[in-house]
Amino acid sequence: MTEAPKPLGVTTTPIPGFLRIDLTVHGDNRGWFKENWQREKMTALGLPDFKPVQNNVSFNDEIGVTRGIHAEPWDKFVSVATGKVFGAWVDLREGPSFGTVYTTVIDPSVAVFVPKGVGNAYQTLEPNTAYTYLVNDHWSAEARYTFLNLADETVAVPWPIALEEAILSDKDRAHPRLAEVTPFPAAAPAGRRVLVTGANGQLGRELMRQLPTAGFTATGVDLPEFDIADAAQMAAIDWSQYDVIINAAGWTAVDAAETVEGRRAAWRANATGPALLARAAGDNSVTLVHVSSEYVFDGTQEPHSEDEPPSPLGVYGQSKAGGDAAVTAIARHYLVRTSWVVGDGRNFVKTMAALAAQGVKPSVVDDQTGRLTFTTDLAAGIIHLLSSDAEYGTYNISGEGPVVSWWEIAARVYELVGHDRAEVSPVTTADYYVGREDTAPRPLRSSLDLSKIEATGFVPGDSMRRLEEYVHSLAATGKTQ
């Protein structure tokens, strides 16, 4: 090879996601050398970081060997080690590009990236051709394949050697015409396939409601079928199905965490589980969103900033801090710290409304202060981080507005349901827990500094206004009983 080598380059084609790669081949009197796959250089030029796991080689003795058209459920990086082929690709994915054709000649200086669902075929133009391809999933006989006949009249591939004179297998001759092909299912947009753990909880339900409307494909999982703290189960999951994990699972029984059994359960769910998710996310280049709590702090500072060091008072806070440490060890993470969550499920506001309806006059602590966080805002904030490609790291998300006590919230709930706020008596935390065993220490100050999340363009709603809307919705649906 005496010509000056081509520079490495990646170009698009009429098939969405299908790329042609020009490879740099260095030659002299001894032969030639090329970097056939170079992850860092190629991804910098726009090739997806598709993480190949298997390398296959198809050797062909004669000119005119023709194989295809096969669409597999994995991405492929195709090249030749020796020889030359005429390559043909047909988009067999459902959507507007179904049936689009692209052809080119592949010699050692050319490669192509073939997305899953795009039919792949080639015809050898030289003897002793070694056709090679990297794939990002292991071959499986159970996988779904989509086929198209090499002689289909609609796509009309211009084979250099007529198929009547070419060397074909009987299976390839029997594949269906385009009109009979069931399209390969369309994939979710890149970066938009989300696994939500803890999907049956307050936040999980809201995420499952909001994610689809924001353009994400969401899969929700929860106990008992899906246990994030089960190492064997986590290792068996095909993580290539997801781009993002949102971990909304957790043990939140703060007082029960102080018992022997509760301590084990809290650490298992809040530390071991997130650590296993972090390992899976790191190994598979999946973004991990992990929801944490202001209980990782002792409540002596206000407001709590993202860079405040952890200082948990009780087992629940300690277990959450353990999970946080594991999550922040991987690069692609959003650690979302929140407080006083209210959503669809059991929560403080619903409890107060029910007590008012029952004529109960409760005592509520007035020296623990913070802001309520409604799951509508918390879910929206998480989606904002993902949609805006915000810098990875830790973000506080709670409601905006005034910092108030639990007593002020309870008194306001009583007012909103038509009762006298004086029916709720203020009491100090120390007095409230006198004589109660196995109670966890609480941080007295729980408000979060929201300046970092707001700097990204997301401003949560005023928590007290959200409270009014929520209580009115409970009354309208009869859920205050």
Closest CA to 424 of 436, 433, 415: 415
pLDDT of residue 189: 67
Residue 242, classed as helix, strand or coil, is coil
Is residue 69, in this structure, part of any structural domain at all?
A: yes
Convert the pLDDT of each residue in 296-349 to its tens digit.
999 999 899 999 999 999 999 999 999 999 999 999 999 999 999 999 988 999
pLDDT of residue 230: 95
Residues 390, 323 within the same domain: yes
Is residue 49, in this structure, part of any structural domain at all?
A: yes
| Structure tokens, 429 | 């935390």
Residue 316: active-site member: no
Convert the pLDDT of each residue in 98-128 to its tens digit.
999 999 999 999 999 999 999 999 999 999 9
Residues 129, 205 within the same domain: no
Residues 122, 200 within the same domain: no
pLDDT of residue 1: 46
Pairing of strands 244-247, 369-370: unpaired
pLDDT of residue 141: 72
Residue in 70, 102, 392, 433 annotated catalytic: 70
pLDDT of residue 3: 63
Is residue 3, in this structure, part of any structural domain at all?
A: no
Residues 171, 221 within the same domain: no
Residues 113, 255 within the same domain: no
Average pLDDT, the chain: 93
pLDDT of residue 168: 96
pLDDT of residue 458: 96
Is residue 317, in this structure, part of any structural domain at all?
A: yes
453 burial (CB, 10 Å; 0-12 / 13-18 / 19+) is buried
Distance CA(69)–CA(90), nearest Å, equals 8
Residues 201, 168 within the same domain: no
Is residue 278, in this structure, part of any structural domain at all?
A: yes
Residues 366, 436 within the same domain: yes
Range of the domain at 85: 9-180
Radius of gyration of the chain from its Cα atoms, rounded to whole angstroms: 29
Residues 402, 334 within the same domain: yes
Residue 70: active-site member: yes
Residues 377, 347 within the same domain: yes
Distance CA(114)–CA(75), nearest Å, equals 6
pLDDT of residue 270: 97
For residue 112, give the CATH number of its domain. Answer: 2.60.120.10
pTM, rounded to two decimals? 0.71
Q: Where does a domain end: 122, 148, 180?
A: 180
Give me the number of domains the chain comprises.
Answer: 2
Low-confidence residues of the chain, pLDDT below 50? 1-2
| Structure tokens, 87 | 């390559």
Q: Where does a domain end: 180, 212, 236?
A: 180
Residue in 122, 131, 133, 295 annotated catalytic: 133
Distance CA(299)–CA(351), nearest Å, equals 24
